[in-house]
Structure 1
Amino acid sequence: MKDREADVRASDAGVSGDGPSRQGGDTPRPGRQAAVRPVNGHGNGDAAQPKGKTRKRRKRRRGRKVYARDGVQPAAGGKPAEVAAPLAGPAVSVKPGNTAARADLAEQPRRMPVSDLPVFAALDLGTNNCRLLVAVPGRPGQFRVIDAFSRIVRLGEGLSASGRLGQAAMDRAVEALKVCSDKLRNRKIKKARLIATEACRSAANGAEFIDRVEREAGLKLEIIDRQTEARLAVSGCGSLVERDTDGVVLFDIGGGSSEIALIDVSRHRSPRLANHIVSWTSLPVGVVSLAERFGGRTVTREIFAAMVEDVANRLRSFDGRDRLAHVVSSPKFHLLGTSGTVTTLAGVHLELDRYDRRRVDGLWMDGTSVDRMVEKVLGWDFQQRVANPCIGADRADLVLAGCAILEAIRAVWPSERLRVADRGLREGILSELMADDGVWRRNWRNGQRT
């Protein structure tokens, strides 16, 4: 398939786990317009620019990422906006060679040319997806995405039954990683972190696969442990935890594992949200592994209840689950989900004709709305799930397994508020790489670029 190439600008540490994919894998949808989403997550996608003071105010409110989950979509115009790295989210994607867009970038005051900025990269090879982000630092705590790639590879297909990565699954992943390698090779990367998660972590032949990737794609992947995965997910979603929050349970429902972090910010808050993790766990179950064990195409209410109970049993053994007991009943406590499950439910909730990250990322859903969406998807048969534009063929057999994991989590930490994050590990990696490198301290003095 033809790969998408585009320069994209983005913000903080955003996008996550396994977002829903449109049908067609990495095939682009031509002509889709990208516009900066207002911070509250309910932008209307209008790329027209207001004038005068209204324009200035709106520019301050804007700045979320709008690059597509399966690659980068071309922009329809409008000025890109920088966003916080702990705030995350690309803003406007620009096709290479788009001189009008480049001129527009040049008009931004005190902005160093992209070619003069250090380039950082983050790659996340999960059980279901292969994703890459390449970015340069912006204002303190912010970055701009200049390239992105995502493809569903289902590396963990069959893993729960055999304990090994299958040949076809490894072949798909290697082909996607070759695309990532080409993108990295064409840029002068200052620092990169290339990670692999649960599929490679648990497979008997995971290390052999990592060696094959190095031989054939020229990439040396790092298999991270579950604690690191949980921390990076938190780092990627920092901007979605508002200042008046007391506590958050952040969960990342992946393909082969689900990370849960309990975050206490009731007493103070440091710049790195990950510093406030008081307890965490990683369940060795995700949408792919759960669907393979219980079935994902035909899911009766009895099967769904069995899936929920399976996950609930695992959560009962989590000793640190009560570490936020002092804030769970507070209106300043909420759940924060970064995964394809929650982004899918958000898209269904919004009745989107096409998945739109600008409207989903940062969206608040109340408990009644979540209940209604789970019930709606549970009432659909496989073909109805395939037909929904926010689910599609790639996730129709996985979405109910994700809903079961979500329901088990909600039962342990009941909350009337769920915030949806279309961001995650890659944004967390970029944010940490840039902070550790000190680029924001070196390049900015008194609020201006040096």
Structure 2
Amino acid sequence: LQELPVFAALDLGTNNCRLLVAVPTRHGQFRVIDAFSRIVRLGEGLTASGRLGQAAMDRAVEALKICGDKLRARNIRKARLIATEACRTAANGVEFLDRVEREAGLKLEIIDRQTEARLAVSGCGSLVERDTQGVVLFDIGGGSSEIALIDLTGHRSPRLANHIVSWTSLPVGVVSLAERFGGRTVTREIFAAMVEDVAVRLHAFDGRDRLSHVLASPKFHLLGTSGTVTTLAGVHLDLERYDRRRVDGLWMDRDSVDRMVEKLVGWDFQQRVANPCIGADRADLVLAGCAILEAIRAVWPSERLRVADRGLREGILSELMADDGAWRSRGRQ
């Protein structure tokens, strides 16, 4: 049996360090053979200081060393290792990546906002069904939030990213918003102020009306990828522990999303910590994420939200495999 080519994707974000190693399977899909994910909070304190902090950089380097070991243990055909908002905006971001190369043996590239938006879309192709007319896909990150408007009313190509008609990247994510407004104690007033902060930024997005012709259609929906929406979905399903298989691809109607946001806003910090889908790692970030979600829902109201537990890594793998012809050569199995 011919050995399958191995592909790898690493995403160093403002909050998380994540690695996926996978082999192509049937057309457009892949099987994960190794993975790593750790909350490192690389962007901790960045909003205030403009720099990556020493402790945060140390945490990230330790995680990246593990990723480096995993990658070197395999024969990898193609890999892409990216860094996003924290390294993009920090005064010492490039300097930090030099250290990563020295200590972890990994060369990361800082991607621009447009690439980040495209990769978020590329990872979600299989969650957009054939008869869909339009989608607003959003990825609420730690330091930035990407939003892409996708028009599927014409001929559909295999690559979802080809249908992006407008996109934006807001320089606000769960870590930066929580650091500015406070994440532990969030009153209704503070929550409303966070929503308003994001709403003002969305108002300045010129391309926000590019899907106005399909907004009223039942074949339009929102597609959310990020810890915020997967957490909401886990709470909605009342999971005793988070389970990706039940969350990825889940549909939530407007009332369910309203109820979940209302529930979380009503909980204090300890109640959020106590929920198994939130926990101590996300308890001070989840309401900032909900605020970004609420601002997005106000601009593009939809009866349905599809939840994606996937992100830039899946987008990278999809693009690497497609560009390499990994699916073409094997036929549609």
Please give the TM-score of this superposition, normalised by the length of structure 1. 0.73
* d(CA) in 1 for partners of 2:27, 2:210: 32
Q: How is 1:41-440 mapped onto 2 (pairs within 5 angstroms)? A: 112=1, 116-440=3-327
Q: Percent identity?
A: 89
- CA shift, 1:439, in A, is 1.8
* Letter matched to residue 174 of structure 2: V
1:3-22 superposed matches below 5 A:
none
Q: CA deviation at 1:442?
A: 2.0
SS in 2 for 1:228: helix
Mapped partners of 1:314, 1:320: distance in 2 = 12
Runs of 5+ unmatched residues, structure 2: none
Over the aligned positions, Cα root-mean-square deviation in angstroms equals 0.8
Deviations 1:47-68 (A, max 9, x none): xxxxxxxxxxxxxxxxxxxxxx
| Structure 1 residue identity aligned to 2:26 | R
**Displacement, 1:443?**
2.9
- 1:268: Cα distance to partner? 1.8
Paired letter, 1:236: G
- SS of residue paired to 1:441: coil
Would you say how many aligned residue pairs link Structure 1 and Structure 2?
333
Name the SS of the counterpart of 1:281 in structure 2. Answer: strand
5+ residue gaps in structure 1?
Answer: 1-111
TM-score normalized by the length of structure 2: 0.99
Cα distance, 1:324 vs structure 2:
0.2
How much has 1:331 moved relative to structure 2?
0.7
Moved more, 131-140 or 259-268: 131-140
Query: CA separation in 1, counterparts of 2:321 and 2:134?
Result: 26
One-letter code aligned to 2:32: V
> Structure 2 counterpart of 1:314, which letter?
R
Paired residue type of 1:276: H
Q: Please report how far the alpha carbon of residue 144 of structure 1 lies from its aligned counterpart in structure 2 after TM superposition.
A: 1.4
- How much does 1:140 deviate? 2.3
Cα deviation per residue 1:235-283 (whole Å; 9 max; x = unaligned)?
A: 0001111111100000000000000000000122100000000000000
Q: Partners of 1:318 and 1:226 in 2: how far apart?
A: 14
1: CA distance, partners of 2:32 / 2:281: 26
What amino acid is aligned across from residue 167 of structure 1 in structure 2? Q
Q: Which amino acid aligns with 2:306?
A: R
Residues 266-324 of structure 1: CA deviation (Å, up to 9, x unaligned): 12210000000000000000000000000000000000000000000000100000000
1:377 & 1:347 partners in 2: Cα distance?
12
Looking at structure 2, the residues matched to 419 and 442 of structure 1 have their Cα atoms a distance apart, in angstroms, of: 32
